[in-house]
Amino acid sequence: MRLSKPTSLLVCLALLIAATPAITAQQPRADVDGRINALLAQMTLEEKLGQLQQLDGEANGNFRPEHRDLIRRGLLGSTLNVRGAQKVNELQRIAMEQSRLKIPVLFAFDVIHGYRTVFPVPLGEASSWDRAAVERAASVAAAETAAAGVRWTFAPMVDIARDARWGRIVEGAGEDPYLGSVMARARVRGFQGSDYSAPDRIVACAKHWVAYGAAEAGRDYNTTDISETSLREVYFPPFKAAIDAGVGTFMSAFNDLNGVPTSANPFTLTKVLRDEWKFDGIVVSDYESVRELINHRVVADEAGAAGAALTAGVDMEMVSRLYHKHGAQLLKEGKLTQATIDEAVRRILRTKFRLGLFEKPYADEARERASLLSREHLAAAREIAARSMVLLKNERAVLPLNKNLKSLAVVGPLADDPKAPLGSWTGDGRAQDTVTLLAGIKAKLSPQARVVHVKGVAIEGRGVTGNYDAAPINASNAGGTNVASAAATEATRLATTPVPEGGIAEAVSAARATDVTIIAVGETAEMSGEAASRASLDLPSKQLELIQAIHAIGKPYAVVLMNGRPLTINWAAENSPAILETWFAGTQAGHAIADVLFGDVNPGGKLPVTFPRHIGQVPIYYNQKSTGRPPTDQKYTSKYLDVPVTPLYPFGFGLSYTQFRLSDMQLSDKTIKPDGQLTASVEVANTGQRAGDEVVQLYIRDVASSVTRPVKELKGFERVTLSPGEKRRVRFTLTPEHLGFYNREMRFIVEPGAFKVFAGTNSVDGLEASFEVVEK
């Protein structure tokens, strides 16, 4: 049979693709581009625009009926939320067997901190200060996700966030660009491995590009106005770290930045990302952020939004359909070039080739069954959750608890809540798989122990509450605002006040009748995450009243926090004997929390974000500028009249069941050249009676520079495990990368001058040394 010319070309193309060796993320770019060029030469404009389209499936993971026809016609390049090997394979077979060019579909899903096995929320993972643990969590998530047929996750979120009102602070690594960069690299490596075409790996997505975490007033989707200096020194570094780790894709953000929406911003999307950083992967819009350019009022209509976003550098449009609807007309009118469309298609095809989708497009249903919630994955979730917990207070050695307790009360609205520990963005995680705190405690104790559970209070509505006069911790050092006496008065009042009726009264009765009480309080899962900004950081509803009522009894108790942001827990910090920050700890939350409460795990986590005393301090972060009038007890200095300027708990803070001491800080040199480096080292010793972990942290201060610099900057850390009496010397290398900054001309330089170096166990306390950078 004689073939027509178009048919002959298609047959040749199919033979070329079939005969070409599988392409991976590690193969030379020329090999990939040759196959892409062969496809581009055959694609119609409609098919090209189809590759730029991503549509969502249903919440339960099913695809929509229209997806079949769109894929068959080559008009759908990617889906989000469609998941499960069987569902994915059904659509993929249409693409590979019934579409003209046999281009596979790229299936995507928000796998933020686990797929079916849910790990701690990213803010919790960052609290581990453990690169390997964070990478391992992402690796497990990748294995389960890939097994379910999804090969693209919209993670990691690497936005720096310094305003706890912003609900999505839970999705990142906190306030510091260095810690954020370390965690970005770890999570990209975990998701992608060394080659994301491997069957247990997926391609990662650095989001949200960029400055989304700096939304004014902490209100999600709000505007941002940030200098280029701050962008390059605070908000860009975690994204650059993701690129250095090989991240395959980026996501543009919702916010406008300095007057230009980030989903149509040529400076960030092209000048920085493509020209400076040489990124050649996909940039996908956030959910309908292309259409939302109309709401930003930088374009008048849908066609204008499509043209602005695609020209600026957004390759794939999520959910809204403006590229496909208006692309041909924009091209005809000269408002969009063929080269722009082709380059966007090229980036999408490049990612599909690097994933190996052309050669291995289908998911393995047997692998899916074996992977999800496997024993190995659950063990990893439990271990990493325990490593993420931060001991904020432990007076009179209330913790760890004795496993031989005869009776224990577990109270609070979150004590037996299976949904809250999963947090927001739970992947395909399910509440029925969650080990609650109550279940974890029961599993830890003998069957003869009496465990009494009382909810006590409910977290109602959106959790609006107010207790703005609560006493802050260390109030006696409060620069003229001494509220310690007020706290004592409040404690006396509570001791003589009748116990509240209802649930709190029942909780008090349970506490009176048992040896120790655990109070589980915090936020519900819905109070954290996207579109979950809060104007108050207090414990919602009547949870503080519950704590105060238990406290008034005078018996031992510990507060367990479950939350996705720093909270203003001043009264508890001043009065409660023990506080354990557990964040939203995931599927194995109950077991992991119980492991820490009963001492099977010695807590070693540290805060990746500052806890304020009052909402009025926000945004608050350790690496602030000095100002011309640093805060003192003098009137005309930078402080507040009604609360201390210091935080409730500083960045990097966290206690242990043992004690550590740092000593003998040494620098390898007293002077170095601008292109030189030096080693800082310090000895850490476990002076207590238990084995435990300490996170040794290294900070620097540029004493005088041509532009103002932070009072301290984290430049290194190491989590070490020491037995009682054991010592170890921890070493850090400081290079020009750590010492430099962007000057007034936006050039990265290392200026001659004096530097101070601090080694500590948090961002406030520590040892100090100094050196000088001298001219060559």
Residue closest to 712 by CA, chosen among 608, 618, 650, 624:
624
- Residue that the structure tokens 């704590």 belong to: 547
Separation CA 429–CA 677 (nearest Å): 46
| Radius of gyration from C-alpha coordinates of the chain | 27
Q: DSSP states of 246-283 as a string?
A: T--EEEE-SSEETTEEGGG-HIIIIIIIIIIT---SEE
Please give the Cα distance from 733 to 167 (Å, whole number). Answer: 35
E strands in 412-490: 450-454
| Cα(606)–Cα(494) distance, integer angstroms | 32
C-alpha torsion 333→339→345→348, nearest 10: -130
Residue from 130, 286, 417, 693 carrying the catalytic annotation: 286
CA angle 78, 79, 82 (to 5 degrees): 145
Q: Are the CB atoms for 125 and 384 separated by under 8 Å?
A: yes
**What is residue 772's three-state secondary structure?**
strand
Closest CA to 526 of 559, 560, 564: 564
Q: CB of 483 within 8 A of CB of 565?
A: no
| Beta partners for residue 759, in sequence order | 698, 767
SS3 per-residue string spanning 526-587: HHCCCCCCCCCCCCCCCHHHHHHHHHHHCCCEEEEEECCCCCCCHHHHHHCCEEEECCCCCC
CA 580 to chain centre: 20
Record the tokens describing residue 164, joined without a space.
Answer: 């706890």
Q: Is 105 helix (H, G, I), strand (E, B) or coil?
A: coil
Task: State the Cα–Cα distance between residues 80 and 553, nearest whole angstrom.
Answer: 52
Centre a 10 Å sphere on the Cβ of residue 601 and count the other Cβ atoms it contains: 22
Q: What is the DSSP letter of 611?
A: B
What's the rounded Cα separation, in Å, for the pair 333 and 528? 45
CA distance 104 to 108: 13
8 A C-beta contact, residue 524 and residue 166? no
Q: Which helix (H) or strand (E) holds 385?
A: helix 375-387
> What are the backbone dihedrals phi and psi of residue 721, each rounded to the nearest 5 degrees, phi first?
-110, 125
CA distance 293 to 311: 13
DSSP 3-state of 299: coil
**Which token pair is 765?**
């306390």
Interstrand relation of 152-153 and 407-411 (parallel, antiparallel or unpaired): unpaired
For residues 414 and 101, the answer to whether their CB atoms sit within 8 Å is no
Q: How far apart are CA 147 and CA 311, in angstroms?
A: 36
Region of 313 please: left (phi>0), alpha (psi -120 to 50) or beta.
left
What distance in Å separates the CA atoms of residue 548 and residue 105, rounded to the nearest whole number?
56
Asked if 94 and 72 touch (Cβ cutoff 8 Å), the reply is yes
Report in angstroms the alpha-carbon separations of 485 from 448, 482, 489, 555, 642: 43, 7, 6, 22, 15
Task: Give the total residue count for the chain.
Answer: 776
User: Can you tell me which residue has the tokens 């932070």?
Assistant: 710
User: Is there a catalytic annotation at residue 256?
Assistant: no
Give the active site residues.
286
